[in-house]
Every structure is written in structure tokens, then in C-alpha cells.
Amino acid sequence: MANGNGKTGLLERVRERTAEAVDRLRGSQFMESVFRPGSPFKKGYADSPRNRSYVIMNNVLYHLHPVKVKRHGVKLSYTLCLGGLSFFLFILLTITGIFLMFYYAPTAERAYVDIQALSTNVAFGSLVRNMHRWGAHLMVLTVFLHMSRVFYHGAYKPPREFNWVVGVVLLLLTLLLSFTGYLLPWDQLALWAVTVGTNMAGFVPVFGDQVKFALLAGVEVTAGTLLRWYVLHVLFLPFIIVIFMAVHFWRVRKDGGISGPL
Amino acid sequence: MTEIPESLLRRSAEAKAKALGIPVEQVLAEMKGEAPPTPPAASEPSEQTAPPAEPSPQEPSSDPAASSGDVDALLAKAAQVAGMPEALLRRSAEAKAKALGVPLVNVLAEMAGEAPPVGAEAPPPAAEPPAGAPQPAEAPAAVAVEEPTVPAPTGNGGGKVAAVVSPRPSVPPAGVPEGVRTQRLLTVVKAKAIQQVKAEPHDKVNTWPHLMLVEFVALLAMTGLLILMSVALQAPLLEAANPNLTPNPSKAPWYFLGLQELLSYFDPQIAGVTVPTIIGLVGFMMIPYVDRNPSTKPSDRKLAIMLYTIFLAGSATLTILGVLFRGKGFNFSYPWKDGIFFDDLKDWVSFE
């Protein structure tokens, strides 16, 4: 565009060049290969009903979402996004948890010292640890609220009965994940909270003592308990919960998407 | 055309023969081009998707021999008009003729542009799909209403696969403003399919951008909340673990504090085992199998909603009691008088 005396403004030229460069990049073979047909990141994407379908259909997201969803389900007030947020918190917890694993050894000598060192010796260590802990509490809360939302909508009714059962298992696994993580800082709070919690398990009829012994790897909370709960927390329970989540999400799709409207 | 192995051809012919209720030999002959194609429905016309009451005095279409010269001429013309291969057009016209219960010639004439749309003429009651077939609730186009999307599932003599195909009506149906897209439901339904077929129309929107946007905002909001919390509130870290020094009181994590609270009222067998495993786990899993009320309307589920609300209120009360109102020796205390005995909360609120 001309500015008064016929010369092109500098800003205008920069803008044009940038647009050209972006276009060339988006048209390059590499970018063409990264994004599948219909991606809004592709050169020449136009907003049309067909392309809107392709965005989902030609994308890994198609494993989670259908191309079209019921209109009432999109309203935030219907689900409050609680199930999605629970899943998202699980991802956040996985990321922050992997970060923490770099700086933590599950032994009685090092566990507590490592956690202390997080806030002094590690960049963002304190922030990431806080995110992991509060995120875990939030996830227990969102999973529980998600269950309540589903109950109030009657969304467990046929054909969704079994997905409700899977959901209850997921709640249990969430609680177990949170509880096993509780011991890992190896401070007084951790030790005694776990002592109280496992004492309750000792009241299981007939097998009470055996259950308690298996949980604690002994008769009281020791270094062996720490290692056991660490493995449960970072490997075993996440592995199980991912399987149940896969079934849960798959069943949501197969049982006809979101329930309702009321 | 590719050569089809004899065994496969035979299997296919047997399936078709069974579906149509005619001898296998006849189907095989037809497949080899030695006989005219057998119209699906030839043997049991009454079981077909065609309406029970014939809308027109003429014989319904499916007799290809009736006026073959006429049909061929029309077919050629229609194929030229639509720019489609004759074979495809023929299949489409046959399906439409069958669905609407009108002669094939009429359909072809319409496709060739020599006659008004067929669908518009059929009397509505006769053209209604048989009971049991899903019916579009609010089909915008007249043609869509009169085309049953799905053949009657009970038609045991019907073709294994039925597809409803119709040419796009050249004029938008009455009542639809110009420029507005009308939709049709197209379904290919296998008889006795393993999946339940419910092609009921729903009010739907594209996941992209509508749902993805909401989700993205929710994720951002949650990330923001979590980072803010983590900057403002320090996760507790007490002295190193010491098995010889029991803190007073010893409390479980907050989500188990409701149970710990119950433990101070009831026998451990009840509060520690029965409530969490029997009521908590098994009971919750059995909810869908106990609550047989099919309705999801809140007004129909007063008891269920009341019970769940009692559960919610009860567990919230117990948890709050356990977190805030239990002090030394797990005895009752007031947080504003004696302070808070819950370390996760120490950084959050202060009554001092």
C-alpha cells in the first residue's frame, strides 16, 4: 500500500515478506508431510463443513472425538469439562512426575534430602513439586465431581452401565495413586498418614494382617514400604489406570457419545 | 472384470439366494449372465419396504422385463443428463423406485428430466416407512421424509444390503429458504447387523471448532489455576520421617479423612471395611443395575437424586469435620480457637 508519496511503508513490506515466508514454509514438503489433509495448519485451509470434518477425521484426535458432537454436550454448563480435565490433570501429573523422578531416589537415606534439595538446588523444582501435589489433590476432586455429574444426569443408564463400573475403578485407582504418592516425601506427615491409612486396611476380615503385610512390605512403614509404594506409584498404577482410561474413553464413543439432553 | 474364484462365487450366490428366497441355481445363472437379474423381493413382495397399500394403480417397478425398451432409452438419457455411468444410475433408480413404491420408469423419467419429482407425488401415509424403521424427526426435505432411511428390519426376505440413493432435488423443498443446506440420512444397513442401528437425527455441531475450543480454554484455565496455586501455596514438608515420634494427631490424606472420622464413631470392622468396600466400591458399581428406572429426567428420579445428595452432603460433612474440627488425640476442636491440625492446609488459611 502506498503512503502518500508513493513509497511502500517499511511495516507494510515486512508484513508482506512475513506472509510470503509463512506461505512458503507451510507449502514446503516437510510441513506438507507433518499435517494430514484437512489440517488447519496446511497451506490453503479454508473454513468449510468438509474441512471441519477433516480436521478431526484426519487427526490423531479422531481416537478421542467424533467429527460431530451433540450440540447440548458442547455447552460448558452440561459437563463442566470434568472428565476431560481429569484426563488433562493426569497428563500434567505424568509430566511433572517424570521431572521429579530425575531428582528423587526412593531410599530411606535419600528420599527426604532429595525433596528438600528440590526447593533449593533444582531450577523450578519447588514449583514442579507443588504442581504435582496440588494437581493430585485436584484430580481426586475432579474425578469425584465428574462421577457426581454423571450420576445427576443419569448418564450411567443403559447402554452406559458398564462404563460407570469402569469409572468407579478409575476413581479407586486415582485414590490409590494419590495415596501411594503421599508416602514418597518421607517426612513425618507422609509416614504417619500412611500408618493411619494402612491400619484401616488391617481391619479387613480374615486376611487383614496379610493385606497389611503386603501393603507395607513388613509390619510397619519401613524403607521397604517406600520402595514398594514408589514402584506402585510411578509404574504399576499408572500402567493399570491407562488401560482402564482407554476402555473408558472407547466406551464413551461406542455407547453413543455424551448422554442426554435431560 | 476380474475372475472370481468358483468357491467365492458360490458362497455369494448362496447368501443371495437365501436372502431372496429363490433357488441357488437361478442366482448363479443370473451371475453368469444367463438370466435376467432377479429383483430383490420377487418372491415375497409383501415383506418389502414398499408400503403395504400401493400408492399407484400400476405395478411397482421391479419388473425389468416390463418395458425394457422404454427403460433402456430413459436410462441412456438420464445417464447423459447426470453424467453418471448407466450401471450406477440404474442401481440408484431401482433403489429409489423400490423405496418409494413407484415404477422404475417413473423414476428414470424424472432423472432424465422428463417428469416432475416422483417423491412429491406419493401420498404421505402410503409412503411412510414401516413401523420399527427409524423415521427422521424433522426432515427438512419432502423427499427425505418419504424415503425410508432403513429398510424394515423385520423383512426377512429383503436384500442383505439396501442403500437409499436419490438424485439431489433440483428445486429446494417448500418451506426451506434458498441457500440453506438440507440434509439427508444415508445408511447402509446389513440385515442382522451386529451393531444396533439407530439413525435418529440429532442436533449436532462440528467438534472442530466448537468442542475443541471449549476444551482448549478449559485446559488453559486449569493450567493457569494450577500454576497460580503452586506459586502461592507451598506443599508441606515436615521433619524427616521418624517412626519413634508419633505426631498428635495423626491424620490420613483428606480424601480418607471422612473414613477416619467414621472410625471414631463405629467399630473398625464397619468403618474401615464395610463402608469403603461394600458400600463404597461394590455399591457404587452396582448403581446402574439396581436403578432400573429408564428415565434421566430429574423429576422422575427424585429418590436417586435425594440419596446421592445425602451421600455427597454426608461425605463432605465427615471430611470437613476430620480436616478442620479434629485436634489433639483426634478430639473435637475448633479451628478458630485451637488452630488447624492438617498440614496440607497450613499454608492456605490462617486463623491466627
Residues in chain B, total: 352
Residue in B207, B223, B259 closest to A56 by CB: B207
Interface check for A115 against chain B (CB to CB < 8 A): the answer is yes
Task: Tell me the HSE value of B117 on the side-chain side, using a 13 A CA sphere.
Answer: 16
In chain A, at which residue ranges do the beta strands (DSSP E only) sit?
A: 68-70
What ipTM score was computed for the predicted complex, to two decimals?
A: 0.89
- CA B186 – CA B149 distance, rounded (Å): 6
Task: Tell me the HSE value of B216 on the side-chain side, using a 13 A CA sphere.
Answer: 7
Query: Which residues, 6 or more positions from B251, have their beta carbon under 8 angstroms from its beta carbon?
Result: A192, A193, A196, B257, B260, B322, B323, B326, B330, B341, B342
pLDDT lower than 50: segments of chain B? 1, 41-66, 119-167, 169, 351-352
Is residue B255 within 8 Å of residue B319, measured between CB atoms? Answer: yes
Query: What's the pLDDT score for residue B57?
Result: 42
Residue in A85, A197, A205 closest to B269 by CB: A205
Q: Which residues 18-37 in chain A show a CB within 8 A of chain B? A: none
pLDDT lower than 50: segments of chain A? 1-2
- Rg of chain B, C-alpha, whole Å: 35
Closest-approach residue (CA) in chain A for B268: A203
Kind of pairing, strands A68-70 and B204-206?
antiparallel
Query: What's the pLDDT score for residue A47?
Result: 87
- Helix (DSSP H) and strand (DSSP E) numbers for chain A: 13, 1
Interface check for A224 against chain B (CB to CB < 8 A): the answer is no
- CA A170 – CA A240 distance, rounded (Å): 9
Kind of pairing, strands B189-190 and B161-162?
antiparallel
Query: Which residues, 6 or more positions from B336, have their beta carbon under 8 angstroms from its beta carbon?
Result: B351
Within 10 angstroms of residue B277's Cβ, the number of other Cβ atoms is 12
Closest-approach residue (CA) in chain B for A160: B288
Give the CATH number of domain A71-254; options: 3.90.470.10, 2.40.50.100, 1.20.810.10, 3.30.300.30: 1.20.810.10
- What amino acid occupies position A91? I
Closest-approach residue (CA) in chain A for B281: A168
Query: What's the pLDDT score for residue A244?
Result: 98
Q: B319 by DSSP, 3-state: which? A: helix
Measure in Å the smallest separation between the Cα of A7 and chain B Cα atoms.
41
Interface check for A112 against chain B (CB to CB < 8 A): the answer is yes
List, for residues B119-172, the tens digit of each pLDDT value: 444 444 444 444 444 444 443 433 333 444 444 444 444 444 444 444 454 555
Q: B125 by DSSP, 3-state: which? A: helix
- CA B259 – CA B276 distance, rounded (Å): 8
Residue in A115, A134, A203 closest to B233 by CB: A134
CA dihedral A148, A152, A156, A157 (to 10 degrees): 170
CA dihedral B156, B162, B167, B172 (to 10 degrees): 70
- CA B6 – CA A76 distance, rounded (Å): 58
Is B253's CB within 8 Å of A135's CB? Answer: no
Interface check for A88 against chain B (CB to CB < 8 A): the answer is yes
- Chain A contact probe: residue of B198, B211, B287, B343 with most A CBs at under 10 A: B211
Chain B residues inside the 8 Å CB shell of A82: none
Is A193's CB within 8 Å of B202's CB? Answer: no
List, for residues B31-64, the tens digit of each pLDDT value: 777 766 655 544 444 444 444 444 444 444 444 4
Chain position carrying cell 500454576:
B227
Is A178's CB within 8 Å of B253's CB? Answer: yes
Interface check for A49 against chain B (CB to CB < 8 A): the answer is yes
